[in-house]
Amino acid sequence: MNCNKTRVLMSVAVDGELTVKEEQLFLLHLSECEMCRVEYEEAKKTKLIIREKIVRFNAPASLVTMIMQLSDVDAKKAEGTLSL
Amino acid sequence: MAKSETNHPAKASSKKETLSREENLKQLEFQKEAVVHINSLYNYALHLTMNPDDAEDLVQETYLKAYRFFNSFERGTNCKAWLFKILKNNYINSFRKNSKEPGKVDYDLIKDFYHSIKDTRIDTSEADSDYFHTLLPEEVYLALQSLPEEFREVIQLCDIEGFTYEEIANMVESPIGTVRSRLYRGRKLLRAQLESYAKKYGYNTDTDQ
């Protein structure tokens, strides 16, 4: 496996979605290529950054309460026009 | 005759009780399976609509629909993925159509969001020398929002929500190969954007070139 192919697979590797065969070839290349090893660490960091820096908001309490009582609301809105 | 007359209301009321017990069970299962994902759905809706009121409406509509069609949810599969798909469809069908400027990012709104919660954020896990460490949450958010939607979407679903490629492929109605390549290309763009923010702080990010 060459560097180009390895870079493409890096994004997949970061997500743990490589096939068994891909993983073997990927790890083999990493063991032989310092540049790709560095690049792989950077790729992992990018994913981590998204996970850590994107702030999660809590749904407003009023919304949660309303959803918890959904069957009542559903009954009121019965025969509506919703379709999946 | 008299017997049947007295029988009838009794029968009706017992039927009603059974129905409401079923309804109660359904509601309990719904709360356990679906309502637990409300924060994720709300955040996803915020990302899509960029507006708290719209996000709330979208989540509400999504749950109404999900509740109505809860019987068609395949038990044992990922309920969160099922809900996300409903929300996305809802968004495409009603919100995006009605929005005055589709896909327009309200940067001020994003900044307001982040500033309003700034004090509660904690991030001290990374080394100080790491340029990523200097990035502010709103910068990461803006970088993400600057990506074309097809890339932004898969990154959100994968990195923020933790869906598998198979689940994402199903949600965006594309093959897994497409999901893979969108993630690859999207992350490349995202990283370039993040590095440009980092450069602003004087960090040299050219070491990997």
**What ipTM does the predicted assembly reach?**
0.81
**Pick among B29, B38, B112, B185 to test the A interface (most A CBs inside 10 A):** B38
Best mutation target among B61, B151, B184 (most A Cβ atoms within 10 Å) is B184
Per-residue pLDDT of chain B (209 residues; tens, 9 = 90+): 444 444 455 455 555 556 678 888 888 889 889 999 999 999 999 888 888 889 999 999 999 999 999 999 998 899 999 999 999 999 988 876 665 444 555 666 666 666 655 444 444 444 444 666 678 888 888 899 889 989 999 999 999 999 999 999 999 999 999 999 999 999 999 999 988 887 776 665 554 43
Whether residues B32 and B119 share a domain: the answer is no
Q: Are residues B73 and B148 part of one domain? A: no
B83 found inside a domain:
yes
CB-based contact B208 A68, cutoff 8 Å:
no
| Distance (Å, whole) CA B146 – CA B189 | 9
Q: Do A42 and B59 touch (CB under 8 A)?
A: no
**Is B5 part of a structural domain of the chain?**
no
Q: Is residue B9 part of a domain?
A: no
Same domain for B73 and B113, yes or no, is no
Q: For residues B199 and B111, state if they share a domain.
A: yes
Specify whether B42 is located in the same domain as B29.
yes
**B179 → chain A, closest CA residue:** A12
List, in sequence order, every beta strand (DSSP E) within B66-208. Answer: none
Segments forming the whole domain that contains residue B25: 14-104
Number of domains in chain B: 2
Q: Do A12 and B135 touch (CB under 8 A)?
A: no
B103: which residues sit within 8 A by CB, 6+ positions away? B96, B149
The reply to whether residue A77 touches residue B39, judged by beta carbons under 8 angstroms, is no
Of A51, A66, A84, the CB nearest to B160: A51
CA-CA distance, B104 to B118, in Å (whole number)? 24
- Residue at B170: amino acid letter: N
Q: Which residue of A has its CA nearest to B55?
A: A59
Domain holding B18: CATH number?
1.10.1740.10
Same domain, B115 and B196: yes
Last residue of a domain, one of B62, B85, B104: B104
B93 shares a domain with B119: no
* Residue after which a domain boundary falls, among B77, B104, B131: B104
Mutate to test the interface with B, among A10, A41, A49 (most CBs of B within 10 A): A49
Residue B1 lies in a domain: no
Give yes or no for a contact between A15 and B183, defined as CB atoms under 8 angstroms apart.
Answer: yes
